[in-house]
Amino acid sequence: MSDQIAVQGSIDRSLAAAAYICAGTYLEVGSAKEKAFELQSQPRPSLSELSEALDDIPHEAIQQRCEQPSSSHFRRVNSKTIVSFGPDDRENPVKWKKTRKLLVLLTGIMQVMNSTVGSSICSNAIPQIAKEFHITNQQMLVLPISIFLIGYIVGPLMWGPGSEYFGRRRPLLVAFIGFTIFTLACAVANSYTSLLVFRLFNGMMASCPIAIVGGLFADVHDDPTLRGRLMAYFMACTTFGPVMGPLISGFVADVSWRWCFWIGLIFAGTTLPLVALMPETYAPVILNHRARKLRKETGNTNIVSPLEFESRDIRTTFLVTISRPFRMLLHESIVSLTSLYLALAYAIFYLYFEAYPIIFQGVYQMSPGVSGLMFLPIGAGAILACFVFIWYDGYLARAKARQASWAKIEEYRRLPLACVGGPLYVISLFWVGWTASPNIHWVVPFLSGIPFGMGYLLIFMAMLNYLTDAYETLSASAQSASSCTRSILGAVLPLAAKPMFDRLGVHWACSLIAFLSLGVSIVPFAFIRYGDRIRKTSMFCQELKRIKEAERNGMGQDIRIDVK
């Protein structure tokens, strides 16, 4: 027949070898498409002939269509057949239906809200907790929040790497079940020590969505603009969530401080079914399952997923994955300065949970519930920051479309947002400090929360996205370094709030942290001026540049990034 293909030469034997994996009816090699032959009409090659033939297969992807169109790609590397997604693969998360992606988005946001609300859920119930457990030491009273943030330090070191080996779903489900259990434990704690222990483990569990949800959104969306906007919403949740905690505890603490945690438990309980129903989104793990299924169906043990092909022993994984963030923190100026800036902004944000009761309950004699409402402008500012981010994102896209020279510069993609956010943040600190007075209406310091929330979120959006742009494949390590440093300072600085405000007063205590913020606010301006020079001297950035150049020249098919 004219449409039958004769098996001739090494290329044809290579095709036969590929067809041996699964007797399909259609093959695609590179961009060329040929009608497949029926294997029964041709003598099946021996295993030795197959092995020899497979060695001749070019490393271009071979798409094989079996049960569904465009179901898989295969390529040969070092005697292994590596399976990957086809162009229209329905199991590829980026090809999922909108409803399925919406489930992932909703689940991720709900988990982040649970985590961040949980961080401050008891902030306005501290007097009641102190009364029940007879705690008089002021530093001890800050610990329910600080100890939770210590969990944010430890947790990402476990959940981040774990999500790259076990997928997103299992760590998120395990952590959320743990979060729910420890929230319940906090509600029934019978001593201050046990409450602190439960809060520590609660923080460790709560850190999982903070570490993973950004990757979760990236798994299901390959459009950079949409992905950037989803990250903006994610960051807004990390700001808006903690603001809700004092509001809740301020009103329910008079009934019982335990009701803060009971409400948190109810919120977690309504979210748990979503987490349980959420599908796996991490492509390497999905391909892992596919490779395992193909090995079982064909008996070919050389079929592997990319994750299995790149697998390393535990010691290497520990050295590379765990130590890299700390080495980047020590040797990379971009990472260290960004981490310093974000750590101070984050610590001041959590210091506000100690400062606002001093200002609004102390100066303006408000009840805990009403003083909790004073945090709402911070959330409103965060929402406004999202609109600013989306506007700038569109402005940048239009500039790229018209080939504007500035839009091609790495530092101009996100850092201008931090150049706006930094001054807003500093202004808000001076604003609240010098207007918090019995002679000035409470609404004036109340409104300072709007520029504070805007500035805080714009700083985070810009600086974290800059880390991602600068370090690309290694950005997870850079983000981990930043996360650890800001969680450490966020846990420690609130301990100084009460002594600092008692000694300096509201005016100068706020001025002190404003001057510190002013000092580090020059970081994004410095990166815009010297960022290109810094990246040229960066070992990690130059290694990434070398690999990208190799890929552009066609030499980077199987390059592994492993900066040690």
Q: Is 437 helix (H, G, I), strand (E, B) or coil?
A: coil
Decide if pLDDT at 253 tops 50.
yes
The CATH code belonging to domain 92-280 is 1.20.1250.20
Identity of the residue numbered 527 = F
Decide if 386 contacts 232 (C-beta within 8 A). yes
Tell me what pLDDT residue 297 has.
Answer: 82
The number of beta carbons lying within 10 Å of the beta carbon of residue 310 is: 12
Structure tokens at 164: 């790259």
- Is beta strand 62-64 parallel, antiparallel or unpaired with respect to 32-35? unpaired
How does residue 59 score in pLDDT terms, banded at 50, 70 and 90? very low
Tell me what pLDDT residue 308 has.
Answer: 63
- Taking the C-alpha atoms of residue 294 and residue 299, their distance in angstroms, rounded to an integer, is 8
- pLDDT higher for 564 or 5? 564
- Which residues neighbour 20 within 8 Å (Cβ) at sequence distance 6 or greater? 39, 44, 45, 50
- pLDDT higher for 46 or 174? 174
pLDDT tens per residue across span 390-408: 899 889 888 888 888 888 7
E-state strands within 173-228: none
What is the rounded end-to-end Cα distance, in angstroms, of the chain? 57
Mean pLDDT along residues 349-366 = 91
How does residue 43 score in pLDDT terms, banded at 50, 70 and 90? very low
Domain ranges of the chain: 1-90+289-311, 92-280, 312-557
How does residue 137 score in pLDDT terms, banded at 50, 70 and 90? confident
The CATH code belonging to domain 312-557 is 1.20.1250.20
- Is beta strand 72-77 parallel, antiparallel or unpaired with respect to 80-85? antiparallel
Tell me what pLDDT residue 382 has.
Answer: 92
The number of beta carbons lying within 10 Å of the beta carbon of residue 558 is: 11
Q: Is 365 helix (H, G, I), strand (E, B) or coil?
A: coil
- Taking the C-alpha atoms of residue 338 and residue 345, their distance in angstroms, rounded to an integer, is 11
- Is beta strand 72-77 parallel, antiparallel or unpaired with respect to 62-64? antiparallel
Place of tokens 């552009």: 552
How does residue 60 score in pLDDT terms, banded at 50, 70 and 90? very low
Decide if 231 contacts 465 (C-beta within 8 A). yes
Q: Is 32 helix (H, G, I), strand (E, B) or coil?
A: strand
Decide if pLDDT at 344 tops 70.
yes
% of residues, the chain, pLDDT over 70: 78
- Is beta strand 80-85 parallel, antiparallel or unpaired with respect to 26-29? unpaired
How does residue 129 score in pLDDT terms, banded at 50, 70 and 90? very high
Mean pLDDT along residues 524-541 = 85
Decide if pLDDT at 53 tops 50.
no
CA distances (Å), origin 527, targets 395, 532, 560: 21, 8, 29
Tell me what pLDDT residue 58 has.
Answer: 41
- Taking the C-alpha atoms of residue 116 and residue 109, their distance in angstroms, rounded to an integer, is 11
DSSP line for 107-130: HHHHHHHHHHHHHHTTGGGHHHHH
Decide if pLDDT at 415 tops 50.
yes
DSSP line for 487-542: HHHHHHGGGGHHHHHHHHHHHHHHHHHHHHHHHHTTHHHHHHHHHHHHHHT-HHHH
Decide if 500 contacts 509 (C-beta within 8 A). yes
Decide if pLDDT at 11 tops 50.
no
Phi and psi at residue 83, in whole multiples of 5°? -95, 140
Tell me what pLDDT residue 201 has.
Answer: 96
Tell me what pLDDT residue 537 has.
Answer: 81
Decide if pLDDT at 534 tops 90.
no
Phi-psi region of 472 (alpha: psi -120 to 50; beta: other; left: phi over 0): left
Tell me what pLDDT residue 153 has.
Answer: 85
Structure tokens at 18: 């590929």
Q: Determine if the pTM surpasses 0.95.
A: no
Place of tokens 């569109």: 394
Judge whether 92-280 and 312-557 match in fold: yes
- pLDDT higher for 74 or 530? 530
Mean pLDDT along residues 118-130 = 91
The highest-confidence range among 148-162, 189-203, 411-425, by mean pLDDT, is 189-203
The highest-confidence range among 36-40, 421-425, 547-551, by mean pLDDT, is 421-425
Decide if pLDDT at 31 tops 80.
no
Burial class (CB in 10 A: 0-12, 13-18, 19+), 437: middle
Structure tokens at 6: 């004769």
Mean pLDDT along residues 333-362 = 92
Q: What is the chain's alpha carbon radius of gyration, rounded to the nearest angstrom?
A: 27
How does residue 476 score in pLDDT terms, banded at 50, 70 and 90? low
Lowest mean pLDDT among 188-197, 483-492, 539-548: 539-548
CA distances (Å), origin 331, targets 33, 326, 328, 435: 50, 9, 5, 42
Q: Is 386 helix (H, G, I), strand (E, B) or coil?
A: helix
Q: What is the mean pLDDT of the chain?
A: 79
How does residue 292 score in pLDDT terms, banded at 50, 70 and 90? confident
CA distances (Å), origin 282, targets 119, 165, 208, 307, 380: 27, 9, 15, 11, 33
- Which residues neighbour 266 within 8 Å (Cβ) at sequence distance 6 or greater? none
- pLDDT higher for 46 or 254? 254
Decide if pLDDT at 553 tops 80.
no
